[in-house]
């Protein structure tokens, strides 16, 4: 595991974008696993800037997103499809038909989960998976549980997650209670994982995830077992790690 520290959000975003950019320059037909949430917004912004300067070409890239709220259509402003279309896909030359987000409106949820796993398999798996981290230690929407859920599945969101995401909705009661999320297996099978985190609110959970026991109670803790994990975080998010394991930060 490599932990890269950044002085602030902008620098975190630029460093993470550099890693994605290197992946796409070296392997133009990469499969990128993409994430939503507020943390990666700066990464997408930076990638768009470099695309506009002709420094990156996404024309051969395929993407698979981690998750989607159940019950929201891709036109709903808080759906993750809408987030991706608005904040990234519409501003770069990644062909929209190469992009994949679970269908939150699927009637047959089991069939949709199987379809999504097949999409990932048919693309040959993920080359680089971008991840944020939730306050519960969730990755994608894999919430704390008794077991690690391996395949794409439907989750009931924890109240803490609903409360955290309520800031994007009119009020907490509008936040969908359930979501579809890629499972731990597809995430862990990604060739490279890039986890981004910023702000003091993530400091404790980041430390527990990277240095605590590996347990489905802290889903991100499974990342300790990945052999190519890079964490890019700002100093606030690294505060607890810096206090307990200073030599771990590169």
Binding stretches for ligand GLP (CB under 6 A) = 35-39, 66-67, 132-134, 140-141, 161, 165
In the structure encoding, which two tokens stand for residue 40, read together? 């990666």
Minimum distance of ligand GLP from residue 111's CB (angstroms): 22
Q: Which is nearer to ligand GLP, 5 or 136 (CB)?
A: 136
Minimum distance of ligand GLP from residue 196's CB (angstroms): 8
Minimum distance of ligand GLP from residue 153's CB (angstroms): 14
**Radius of gyration (C-alpha) of the chain in whole angstroms:** 17
Q: Which is nearer to ligand GLP, 29 or 177 (CB)?
A: 177
Q: Which is nearer to ligand GLP, 37 or 104 (CB)?
A: 37
> Dihedral of the CA atoms 144, 175, 110, 223 (nearest 10)?
-30
Minimum distance of ligand GLP from residue 83's CB (angstroms): 10
Minimum distance of ligand GLP from residue 40's CB (angstroms): 7
Q: Which is nearer to ligand GLP, 4 or 134 (CB)?
A: 134
Q: At what angle do helices 41-52 and 9-26 cross, to 10 degrees?
A: 50
How far apart (Å, rounded) are the C-alpha atoms in residues 93 and 208?
Answer: 38
Q: Which is nearer to ligand GLP, 56 or 180 (CB)?
A: 180
Minimum distance of ligand GLP from residue 159's CB (angstroms): 13
Q: Which is nearer to ligand GLP, 32 or 35 (CB)?
A: 35
């Amino acid at each position: 595991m490599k932990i890269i520290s950044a002085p602030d959000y902008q620098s975190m975003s630029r460093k993470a974008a550099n890693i994605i950019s290197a992946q796409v320059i070296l392997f133009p037909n990469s499969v990128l696993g993409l994430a939503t949430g507020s943390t990666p917004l700066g990464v997408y912004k930076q990638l768009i800037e470099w695309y506009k300067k002709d420094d990156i070409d996404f024309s051969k890239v395929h993407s698979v997103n981690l998750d989607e709220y159940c019950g929201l259509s891709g036109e709903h402003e808080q759906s993750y499809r809408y987030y991706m279309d608005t904040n990234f896909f519409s501003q770069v030359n990644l062909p929209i038909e190469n992009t994949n987000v679970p269908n939150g409106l699927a009637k047959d949820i089991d069939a949709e989960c199987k379809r999504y796993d097949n999409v990932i398999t048919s693309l040959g798996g993920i080359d680089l998976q971008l991840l944020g981290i939730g306050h519960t230690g969730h990755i994608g929407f894999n919430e704390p549980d008794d077991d690690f859920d391996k395949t794409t599945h439907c989750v009931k969101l924890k109240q803490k997650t609903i409360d955290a995401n309520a800031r994007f909705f009119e009020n907490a009661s509008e936040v969908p209670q359930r979501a579809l999320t890629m499972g731990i297996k597809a995430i862990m099978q990604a060739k490279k994982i890039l986890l981004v985190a910023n702000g003091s609110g993530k400091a404790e959970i980041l430390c527990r995830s990277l240095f605590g026991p590996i347990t489905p109670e802290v889903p991100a803790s499974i990342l300790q077992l990945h052999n190519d994990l890079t964490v890019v975080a700002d100093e606030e998010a690294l505060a607890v790690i810096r206090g307990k394991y200073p030599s771990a930060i590169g």
